[in-house]
Chains A and B, each alone.
Chain A
Amino acid sequence: GAVVSQHPSWVICKSGTSVKIECRSLDFQATTMFWYRQFPKQSLMLMATSNEGSKATYEQGVEKDKFLINHASLTLSTLTVTSAHPEDSSFYICSAPSTGTEAFFGQGTRLTVV
């Protein structure tokens, strides 16, 4: 079946630095991708909708200047956490709907900011 690849699987960064997370649809094109955030033992919260060729749509309360989303091609969306701080530490997951089938999720990225 369709696969979504997310990279890196885990990353540790220093406070104040930026981190880029990639989400790729490997065998289908995705005009839309979604970015979720998951805190330990909690549910997934939708952060933003990534739209190929246009600006992302952010959910209420999500800082668009901190979480930069770029969807430059039909198979790649990136989430950049800018000036990361310890409170940004979380599990970030992307999903990409494949037309007529289902949404496929990446394996997630564990971000730890120290």
Chain B
Amino acid sequence: AQSVTQPDIHITVSEGASLELRCNYSYGATPYLFWYVQSPGQGLQLLLKYFSGDTLVQGIKGFEAEFKRSQSSFNLRKPSVHWSDAAEYFCAVGARDYKLSFGAGTTVTVRA
């Protein structure tokens, strides 16, 4: 069975500060890992994905994530947060067919 755990329900960060969102997964095979962002009442936008290769993945909007197989983790980072980064962030695991299992999500609040 596949599952995703996002330990942090809510994170508040100051604008300009760094951000790290945690994600741990359980998957029976080689995982395909994703981070999505959702604005209120909207669909999901893909930030980045990891299939294979370099374990440090660069995404859109200045985000990056690092795959650590030994820790079953795929944490998302951004060096300097902007107010527009306030949103809900979902980590997901699946296969290349994009049938995904999502974590519970982390709400990011950015304070001025």
Interface residue ranges, A against B (CB under 8 Å): 4, 6, 32, 34, 36, 42-46, 49, 91, 93, 95, 97, 102-103, 105-108, 110
Contact = CB atoms under 8 A, between A and B. Distances in A.
B7 to A, nearest CB: 14
Contacts, number: 48
B41 A108 contact: yes
Nearest to A94: B43
B95 to A, nearest CB: 11
Interface string B42-79: 11111001000000000000000000000000000000
A46 B41 contact: no
Given A34-B99, A102-B98, 13 more contacts: A34-B98, A36-B102, A43-B102, A46-B99, A91-B41, A95-B44, A95-B100, A97-B98, A102-B46, A103-B46, A103-B98, A107-B42, A110-B41
A95 B98 contact: yes
